[in-house]
Structure 1
């Protein structure tokens, strides 16, 4: 993976300053999903280190690597409580400080949003193993690798960025990452992948909250690559997609792309407080397999998705000016 990840470390004073800002926000707002806070969040970031603000916001302009690792925000392993057995079981305020931190970083890139079909439409989502989901291709799987993918690739309003904050990862289970910079396709394969010859369907987490008619709406062919020919955007989710029936040329091009991305995957193990910021247009991400203990000590991340422009998806909002999109 060539120049795909920048690393930014908060020193002790910067981490303390960030924590102080978060505690001040907690005192002034009812919660990290409060709309007044979310609208003012970009102004609140002005007290953060300039290098951090420049590094994160630089992802918007394409002049920085397409992923960033931000380290140093504190996480008290005892204060957050055990890793939940299910996302519905999480204590409401357990990760409030970390969610405020996520929101501040997200505001440097755009506007946080979420899906009505994921975790009851909560703005911040939990990623951790769930009993019975060990083999699933979702954030709750464990024993099978989570294959590389674009987040919510099936949807035209998929996020521009995804932020993952590690709360607990005692086993150093790696998140995996690759980028369009790693693609070395033939001209013929590249051209095919720029054409609408593929179908991407919703994953199981979305589908369980969709009607048959809503699911069927995603049978419209789409392209896998888009934008710049030399460093294209990627839209891919191998377990939930295929070339159009009978299109062997498209199937071959998709297989070639998949093989190159698989070979380019780099391990990024996240420690407590680490935030991985991923450009969802230029990167794919996944996870290595692990054996869950399901005893409250397993890997636990928080996730927020970000769009550059929330207004473009207004027709899919649950209600006017909502941050919750219908799947």
Structure 2
């Protein structure tokens, strides 16, 4: 089972964080200025929180960090889908940005949420049964975020504005795969024996890609046996041979049997290592009346400078042709 580091901020720490968030006055539409100011404020986060973030950053092996009791502010009604971008105006969004900038640099994608830094994760009646972040009638299959992209985010950050006790977030670290497989099976996972397609949410906008719609051959695991990276999408990744498909099926079985389940509550911030773990989400009932589950999703690059070449000028947006 995934080890999830946890920190519940004290009431005094909550007030300190609230004070920092009220100083972030730049509009998130001015992305570079917004992230710069958030990064400066991050230096003054409570010492205990900074320490836990640094520990997670330096020792993450596919685990997750959940920070609870963060200041919320006023929460708007849950929107239907992610087209209105109401979440970015909340106090919790500013808190999320400040904490994110302690880990790296917030980034956005031209092909997702119109290039916004914050994505409203709320049920969409039009996508309820699709494999997208705004579905609800179906389980969101296990995956690494944007496994098809060479510029996928290093960390995924999820802030909970409104909870649903029946909605589980699933986490499964890559290191458990190597621990559960035979040496021969493990070695094969590091060989380029699979291909993967492009996510539905990217293809829906009919953006032009500089790369092909099918990517590969790729390996499922990369790097060190003891601290492997993982590239996988239960829906999009396919084996190129019978053997590789069998290995993929085994990885998915392990994910379903051994994944950790988390129910996010209002004021929680969950940070996932997107290079060393896969994640998913259960189905859940949607009422579509403004009271449904409402999360804010953001992406973090460990080094923003390393991907500046792919960004739109004066923004944090990675252009579609690099996806």
- TM-score, normalised to structure 2, is 0.92
Paired residue secondary structure (2:296): strand
- Given the superposition, is the C-alpha separation of residues 46 and 211 from structure 1 closer, same or farther in structure 2, using an over 3 Å criterion? closer
Alignment match of 2:68 (pick from 52, 71, 74): 71
Q: Indicate conservation of the 8 Å contact 1:59/1:65, yes or no.
A: no
Give the deviation of 1:256 after TM superposition. Answer: 1.3
- For the pair 1:231 / 2:230, whether they are aligned, the reply is no
Look up the match of 1:125: 119
Gaps of 5+ in 1: none
Look up the match of 2:315: 322
- Given the superposition, is the C-alpha separation of residues 213 and 125 from structure 1 closer, same or farther in structure 2, using an over 3 Å criterion? closer
Look up the match of 1:185: 181
Q: Indicate conservation of the 8 Å contact 1:138/1:205, yes or no.
A: yes
Give the deviation of 1:103 after TM superposition. Answer: 1.0
- Given the superposition, is the C-alpha separation of residues 189 and 74 from structure 1 closer, same or farther in structure 2, using an over 3 Å criterion? same
5 Å matches for 1:63-212?
66-76=63-73, 79-91=74-86, 94-95=89-90, 97-183=91-177, 184-211=180-207
Q: Indicate conservation of the 8 Å contact 2:164/2:293, yes or no.
A: yes
Paired residue secondary structure (1:220): strand
5 Å matches for 1:284-323?
284-319=278-313, 322-323=315-316
5 Å matches for 1:22-41?
22-26=21-25, 29-31=26-28, 33-41=30-38
- Given the superposition, is the C-alpha separation of residues 275 and 223 from structure 1 closer, same or farther in structure 2, using an over 3 Å criterion? same
Stretches (4+) displaced over 6 A: none
Q: Residues 41-66 of structure 1, C-alpha deviation per residue, up to 9 Å, x if partnerless? A: 33312322212112112232226772
Give the deviation of 1:314 after TM superposition. Answer: 3.3
Q: Indicate conservation of the 8 Å contact 2:62/2:276, yes or no.
A: no
In 1, distance between residues paired with 2:126 and 2:34?
A: 37
Give the deviation of 1:34 after TM superposition. Answer: 4.0
Look up the match of 1:241: 237
Q: Indicate conservation of the 8 Å contact 1:32/1:38, yes or no.
A: no
In 1, distance between residues paired with 2:29 and 2:70?
A: 16
Q: Indicate conservation of the 8 Å contact 2:81/2:121, yes or no.
A: no
Paired residue secondary structure (1:60): helix
Q: Indicate conservation of the 8 Å contact 1:170/1:297, yes or no.
A: no
Give the deviation of 1:94 after TM superposition. Answer: 4.0
Give the stretch that moved more between structures: 192-201 or 180-189.
Answer: 180-189
Give the deviation of 1:69 after TM superposition. Answer: 0.5
Q: Indicate conservation of the 8 Å contact 1:178/1:284, yes or no.
A: yes
Look up the match of 1:7: 6
Look up the match of 1:274: 268
In 2, distance between residues paired with 1:215 and 1:43?
A: 36
Report how many aligned residue pairs link the two structures.
Answer: 318
Q: Indicate conservation of the 8 Å contact 1:127/1:300, yes or no.
A: yes
- TM-score, normalised to structure 1, is 0.91
In 2, distance between residues paired with 1:104 and 1:92?
A: 15
In 2, distance between residues paired with 1:225 and 1:237?
A: 12
- Given the superposition, is the C-alpha separation of residues 65 and 7 from structure 1 closer, same or farther in structure 2, using an over 3 Å criterion? farther
Give the deviation of 1:242 after TM superposition. Answer: 0.4
